[in-house]
């Protein structure tokens, strides 16, 4: 027995452990290198993912813009609107309702760009339907739009920013960005109802690029 023990290889388990650790280390190094190349390729691509953007926001139940009451009239869903207005105030922004926005849309100053509307959604959504004459301003990729949008906002007396409406925050983020870039905050208004409320009430919607003249 003592002879067998003496002939048994010493450190075999340790050698196997070292081999496993070496393989794991090589695998981690290859994985890290692949991630690095992927990030570089994404950064250099004009269609790359914006890593700051939440592409899968939590799904929340839709909140109707109006609530029916027993006598057949409608009133604004005050609880939801009040919460959204409070959120805007925390960011130093003011809101606007549909009637205010409609009046500004019909104001002669809108034609002379004394009043400006900004659509803060992505280009595809904008082309599918926007308030006629509104500028496209995707704040996640603002660079292509700033040369046109920023001077218009600095000239205007009132700047109305909207997105889909309801829980959509793109209009708020866009307004904050414009304020940080020098647009006076007192000119900015966030239309809480957004394009969904606007179109649901039969107000004009333009498709395609700005000033296409194609209405639905």
Could you tell me the residue ranges of all domains in the chain? 2-44, 66-215
The number of C-alpha atoms within 13 Å of 210 and in the hemisphere containing its C-beta is 13
pLDDT at 174 over 50: yes
Q: How confident is the model at residue 66 (pLDDT cuts 50, 70, 90)?
A: very low
Q: What is the pTM of this model?
A: 0.65
Identify the CATH number of the domain defined by range 66-215.
3.40.250.10
Answer yes or no: is pLDDT of 2 > 50: no
What six digits make up the tokens of 31? Answer: 């994985």
Q: 95 and 166 in contact (C-beta within 8 Å)?
A: no
What's the pLDDT at 95? 96
Q: Give the CA count within 13 Å in the CB-facing half-sphere of 71.
A: 3
pLDDT for 81 equals 80
* Residue 75 pLDDT exceeds 50: no
Going by C-alpha positions, the residue among 169, 159, 165, 105 that lies closest to residue 133 is 105
């Amino acid at each position: 027995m003592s002879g067998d023990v003496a002939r048994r290889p010493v450190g075999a388990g340790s050698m196997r452990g070292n081999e496993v650790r070496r393989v794991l280390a090589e695998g981690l190094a290859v994985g890290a290198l692949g991630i690095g190349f992927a990030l570089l390729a994404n950064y250099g691509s004009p269609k790359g993912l914006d890593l700051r953007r939440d592409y899968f926001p939590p799904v929340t139940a839709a909140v109707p813009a109006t609530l029916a009451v027993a006598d057949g009239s409608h009133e604004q869903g005050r609880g939801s609107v009040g919460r959204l207005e409070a959120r805007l105030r925390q960011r130093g922004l003011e809101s606007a309702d549909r009637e205010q926005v409609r009046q500004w849309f019909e104001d002669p100053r809108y034609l002379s760009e004394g009043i400006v509307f900004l659509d803060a959604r992505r280009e595809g959504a904008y082309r599918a339907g926007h308030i006629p004459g509104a500028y496209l301003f995707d704040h996640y990729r603002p660079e292509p739009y700033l040369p046109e949008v920023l001077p218009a906002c600095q000239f205007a007396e009132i700047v109305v920013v909207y997105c889909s409406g309801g829980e959509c925050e793109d209009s708020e983020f866009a307004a904050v960005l414009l304020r940080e870039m020098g647009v006076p905050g007192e000119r900015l208004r966030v239309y809480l109802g957004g394009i969904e409320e606007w179109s649901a009430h039969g107000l004009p919607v333009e498709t395609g690029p700005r000033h296409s003249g194609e209405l639905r």
